[in-house]
């Protein structure tokens, strides 16, 4: 059962830090995945080699886990629900 909806300013310092870490994990995972998938061609340079499938899968898994952690923390601390358009795997945790 969800806690009553709380305002961010009502969080303890430890809760704020936990939420900050969850957001930072999502940012880091997103940047890592972007670095592997959004390879821009640079004129006059060598062609970038696509990342191996297992590396892409690991980066995508880390991003999904980070998102699950963030939504779980937001649900527990702030009573926020995951948006309907987000995958069910992310909403279940």
Within-domain flag for 9:
no
Domains contained in the chain, number:
1
What's this model's pTM, rounded to 2 decimal places? 0.78
More confident residue, 33 or 4: 33
Q: For residues 86, 93, 61 and 12, what is the CA-based torsion angle, rounded to 10 degrees?
A: 100
Contact 77, 15 (CB under 8 A): yes
Determine phi and psi for 40, rounding to 5 degrees: -85, 140
Domain, as residue range, for 83: 56-93
Within-domain flag for 83:
yes
The predicted-structure confidence for 7-55, as pLDDT tens digits, reads as follows 889 999 999 999 999 999 999 999 999 999 987 777 777 777 889 999 9
Within-domain flag for 68:
yes
Contact 6, 78 (CB under 8 A): yes
| pLDDT classification of 6: cutoffs 50, 70, 90 | confident
The predicted-structure confidence for 55-86, as pLDDT tens digits, reads as follows 999 999 999 999 999 999 999 999 988 877 77
Within-domain flag for 81:
yes
Within-domain flag for 67:
yes
């Amino acid at each position: 059962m969800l806690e009553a909806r709380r305002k961010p300013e009502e969080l303890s310092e430890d809760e704020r830090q936990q939420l900050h870490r969850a957001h930072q994990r999502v940012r880091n995972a997103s940047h890592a995945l972007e670095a592997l998938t959004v390879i821009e061609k640079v004129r006059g340079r060598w062609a970038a080699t696509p990342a191996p499938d297992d590396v892409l899968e690991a980066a995508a898994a880390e991003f999904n886990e980070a998102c699950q952690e963030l939504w779980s923390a937001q649900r527990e601390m702030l009573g926020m629900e995951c948006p309907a358009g987000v995958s069910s795997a992310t909403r279940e945790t």
